[in-house]
Amino acid sequence: MSRLTICLLFALITLPVQAVSLVMDSGERQVTLLELYTSQGCSSCPPAERWLNDYVADDALWQSIVPVAFHVDYWDYIGWKDPYATTANGERQRDYARAGHARTVYTPGFFTNGREWRGWTWRMGPRASRKRSGNLVVRVEDGQLAAHFPDTDKPLQLNIAILGFGIETDVLRGENRNSTLRQEFVSLAHVAHPSANGEWRVALPDFDGRGTSRLGLAVWISEPGHPAPLQATGGWLQ
């Protein structure tokens, strides 16, 4: 190897690493937030998860639909503790029921833009929204997130969910015992930040990414005390 080649390689190696920024833009038309409430302890959930997993390779992903799988803990008692389940996820689903957006709390349970939806059983995708909700613009860089949504006369919340992909779990007990579950779009962390003017500058939430092969980000706007999204966007994290 020549001296010049060695010098060039050394220069490339020692160049400072520049952070890659992620910019997400929903557009004016409402992007569908597709929520799945699921559990590794629920024998009815794997078919719904396999259906949701197909969105990884769908052209609509991040453009017109943002899927999120919220794992709930209310089935942990039947023999298997879901490592991705939180009490907060179950409470979010109960909030939908309390608001009259669902008849009861169950898994697998889907919601599209805050409304109970069962079309997946016929292998149908949710119908695209025709609402023009406003443009949600998000920029992520160096662990910080800045977001802008058109100013309104009411307070808003910015929801941020870190999503885990390529997750495989060998279930040893419970209804899915001796099964290997393959899951995508798993919410690893979900936080909400208030704003009075549609502007946010916050840190990304802490999360445990062990066991994932890829990470994504889902961001959506809602009103305080109301889980239904007004607008959403998402993308792959570098």
Which of 23, 21, 22, 27 lies closest to 232, judged by CA?
27
Assess whether pLDDT exceeds 60 at residue 5: no
* pLDDT value, residue 9: 38
The pTM is what? 0.91
- Answer with the residue of higher pLDDT: 3 or 156: 156
Assess whether pLDDT exceeds 50 at residue 8: no
Assess whether pLDDT exceeds 60 at residue 7: no
Number of neighbouring beta carbons within 10 Å of residue 160: 22
The mean pLDDT value for 41-52 works out to 97
* pLDDT value, residue 221: 97
The mean pLDDT value for 220-227 works out to 95
Distance, first Cα to last Cα, the chain? 33
Q: What are phi and psi of 233, to 5 degrees?
A: -155, 170
Give the mean pLDDT of the chain: 91
The mean pLDDT value for 71-96 works out to 97
* pLDDT value, residue 27: 96
Q: What is the pLDDT confidence band of residue 20, given thresholds at 50, 70 and 90?
A: low
The mean pLDDT value for 139-154 works out to 92
Quick check: helix, strand or coil at residue 219? Answer: strand
DSSP 124: P
Number of neighbouring beta carbons within 10 Å of residue 99: 13
Which of 81, 102, 61, 76 lies closest to 185, judged by CA?
61
